[in-house]
């Protein structure tokens, strides 16, 4: 791999004796991982049914290395379509472990696309509390929404906003915030050689400015006593220790928290930026020292103080009869207490949402489906957020059957059964909808998600 001269020189200066080991790591393959979705099954059950050989990632109990990744192709397996796991670079699992969201927390993931860390937070919240996943790029928000839907996360609002606009709405609202910042991506050179070209395009200084432009809005959104995790996938001190040093100076109400729960990683290097001593309590993942790519993670706490009240979200009360008829006929659980409609789109919205007037929203909790001409058509995300036992009429294919593959490819299946909506499952895990007619099952698997 051809690495930029300027980068090599800088790393040599920083690393001294370690430099040759660091460079040697570029001759090795990058590590590939997946993370089990505990919203759908336990880690133990996942290990039992996993079609891939797994070995544990030390810092994330849901995370596993996959050897032979390119041959076993986890992105092509029917379980991927059921949302049973997320494909994620192993070091990228560290920041959420450090932030450690708990059920009931209000969490903001401010630069979230494509959603690796959002899905990890969503699984940790386990349906309780509120997750706001934001990204500034409309295109990347689409991928983010898809991944949240696949994972079956019910309590996530997806926004497409600038941090400044979010700060106007969520005053001192969140318990925990993740800033997984845009960065120069030096830690990804081995995994993604294309990132070398981006490095030349976006300088370290430009990235450091982007990071500060995001971070300066965080204090307004975090409640007193709340936690902020800041992470990058780059080595440059200017974007890591340097950004934290700047933040602590600008916002003296924050202090660095010593990250204790992950002991296989190195500490931050305050001396590289002439920064204060406690920056040493941050973490650095080095590709020549662990089985993963380069990352930096800092955990900061906002000191205790007073909080402010907020105007809350106003749920629209209207006629939901078409949905209620569907629910009465088919479902064994009820979402009627949380319904909210936007145009013809029906959502189940999470509790405790503030007023979001004027905010660009891509997804408002759990998208249930459309009400059109007094008829309800369920969405793929509803199927993926249900358990098999939540629905009365189910059709369950084996992951090894030809029917499962035909369904995922969008084909019509010739079947005789009772008429009406069917929750289609694979090995007991919901994946989408079908509508039974006299002699066939009409396929409602979302066209853009189909298996090719
Ligand atoms: C490192 S990536 C995030 C990866 C993501 N957290 C994950 O785990 O999948 C950084 C993201 O920041 C977004 N971004 C860049 N500038 C932003 C800004 N000012 N506000 C919000 N998001 C921003 C980019 O569009 C990009 O998706």
19 within domain boundaries: no
Q: How many CA atoms lie within 13 A of 338 on its CB side?
A: 17
Q: Which of 33, 113, 198 to mutate to test the pocket of ligand 1 (most atoms within 8 A of CB)?
A: 113
* 233 and 330 part of one domain: yes
Kindly report the CATH number assigned to the domain that includes residue 183. Answer: 3.40.50.150
- Determine which residue's CA is closest to atom 2 belonging to ligand 1: 182
* 403 and 287 part of one domain: no
Please answer whether residues 119 and 75 qualify as being in contact, where contact means their C-beta atoms are separated by less than 8 angstroms. no
Q: Which of 90, 112, 160 to mutate to test the pocket of ligand 1 (most atoms within 8 A of CB)?
A: 112
40 within domain boundaries: no
Which residues form the pocket of ligand 1, taking CB atoms under 6 Å from any ligand atom? 92, 110-117, 134-137, 140, 162-163, 180, 182, 210, 213-214
Catalytic residue, from 60, 156, 233, 425: name it.
233
Please answer whether residues 79 and 426 qualify as being in contact, where contact means their C-beta atoms are separated by less than 8 angstroms. yes
What's residue 314's pLDDT?
Answer: 86
* 381 and 394 part of one domain: no
Q: Which domain holds residue 328?
A: 90-385
428 within domain boundaries: yes
pLDDT tens for the chain, 452 residues long, are 788 899 999 999 999 999 999 999 999 989 999 999 999 999 999 999 999 999 999 999 999 999 889 899 999 999 999 999 999 999 999 999 999 999 999 999 999 999 999 999 999 999 999 999 999 999 999 999 999 999 999 999 999 999 999 999 999 999 999 999 999 999 999 888 888 887 877 789 999 999 999 999 999 999 999 999 999 999 999 999 999 999 999 999 999 999 997 888 999 999 999 999 999 999 999 999 999 999 999 999 999 877 777 888 888 878 899 999 999 999 999 999 999 999 999 999 999 999 999 999 999 999 999 999 999 999 999 999 999 999 999 999 999 999 999 999 999 999 989 999 999 999 999 999 999 998 999 999 999 999 98
DSSP state of 113: T
What's residue 39's pLDDT?
Answer: 98
What's residue 302's pLDDT?
Answer: 96
Cβ-proximal residues to 237 (8 Å cutoff; 6+ apart), any chain: 14, 269, 272, 273
Please answer whether residues 284 and 14 qualify as being in contact, where contact means their C-beta atoms are separated by less than 8 angstroms. no
* 430 and 315 part of one domain: no
- Determine which residue's CA is closest to atom 17 belonging to ligand 1: 136
234 within domain boundaries: yes
* 438 and 314 part of one domain: no
Cβ-proximal residues to 48 (8 Å cutoff; 6+ apart), any chain: none
Q: Is the pTM of this model over 0.85?
A: yes
- Determine which residue's CA is closest to atom 1 belonging to ligand 1: 182
Which ligand 1 atom sits closest to the C-alpha of 120?
Answer: 8
* 298 and 419 part of one domain: no
> Is 233 one of the catalytic residues?
yes
Closest by CA to 223, choosing from 133, 312, 304, 132, is: 304
Asked which of 385, 406, 428 is the last residue of a domain, the reply is 385
255 within domain boundaries: yes
Q: Which of 33, 92, 111 to mutate to test the pocket of ligand 1 (most atoms within 8 A of CB)?
A: 111
What's residue 142's pLDDT?
Answer: 97
* 96 and 174 part of one domain: yes
Which ligand 1 atom sits closest to the C-alpha of 214?
Answer: 19
Please give the distance, rounded to the nearest whole angstrom, from the Cα atom of residue 135 to the centre of ligand 1.
Answer: 6
Taking the CA atoms of the chain, what radius of gyration do you get in angstroms? 23
Kindly report the CATH number assigned to the domain that includes residue 445. Answer: 2.30.130.60
* 248 and 321 part of one domain: yes
């Amino acid at each position: 791999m051809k690495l930029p001269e300027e980068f090599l020189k800088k790393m040599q200066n920083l690393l001294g004796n370690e430099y040759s080991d660091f460079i040697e790591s570029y001759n090795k393959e990058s590590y590939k991982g997946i993370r089990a979705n505990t919203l759908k099954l336990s880690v133990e059950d996942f290990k039992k049914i996993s079609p891939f050989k797994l070995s544990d990632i030390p810092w994330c109990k849901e995370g596993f290395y996959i050897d032979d990744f390119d041959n076993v192709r986890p992105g092509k397996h029917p379980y991927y379509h059921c949302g049973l796991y997320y494909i994620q670079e192993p070091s990228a699992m560290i920041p959420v472990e450090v932030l450690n969201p708990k059920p009931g927390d209000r969490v903001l993931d401010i630069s979230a696309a494509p959603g690796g860390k959002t899905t990890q937070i969503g699984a940790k919240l386990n349906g309780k509390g509120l997750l706001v996943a934001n990204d500034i790029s409309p295109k990347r928000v689409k991928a983010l929404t898809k991944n949240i839907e696949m994972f079956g996360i019910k309590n996530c609002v997806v926004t497409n906003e600038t941090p400044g606009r979010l700060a106007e709405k969520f005053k001192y609202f969140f318990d925990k915030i993740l800033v997984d910042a845009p960065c120069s991506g030096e830690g990804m050179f081995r995994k993604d050689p294309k990132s070398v070209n981006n490095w030349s395009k976006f300088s370290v200084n430009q990235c450091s400015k982007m990071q500060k432009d995001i971070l300066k809005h965080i204090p307004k959104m975090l409640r007193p006593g709340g936690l902020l995790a800041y992470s990058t996938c780059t080595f440059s001190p200017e974007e890591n220790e340097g950004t934290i040093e700047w933040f602590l100076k600008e916002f003296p109400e924050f202090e660095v928290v010593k990250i204790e729960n992950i002991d296989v990683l190195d500490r931050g290097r305050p001396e590289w930026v002439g920064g204060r001593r406690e920056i040493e309590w941050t973490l650095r993942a080095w590709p020549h020292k662990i089985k993963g790519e380069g990352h930096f993670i800092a955990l900061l706490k906002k000191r205790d103080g007073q909080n402010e009240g907020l105007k809350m979200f106003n749920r629209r009360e209207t006629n939901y009869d078409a949905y209620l008829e569907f629910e009465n006929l088919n479902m064994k659980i009820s979402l009627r207490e949380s319904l909210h409609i936007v145009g013809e789109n029906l959502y189940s919205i999470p509790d405790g949402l503030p007023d979001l007037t004027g905010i660009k929203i891509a997804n408002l909790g759990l998208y249930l489906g459309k009400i059109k001409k007094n008829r309800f058509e369920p969405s793929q995300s509803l199927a993926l957020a249900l358990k098999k036992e939540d629905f009365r009429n189910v059709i369950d294919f084996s992951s090894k059957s030809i029917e499962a593959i035909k369904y995922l490819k969008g084909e019509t299946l010739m079947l005789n059964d009772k008429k009406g909506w069917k929750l289609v499952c694979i090995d007991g895990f919901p994946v989408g909808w079908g509508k039974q007619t006299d002699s066939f099952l009409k396929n409602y698997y979302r066209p853009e998600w189909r298996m090719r």
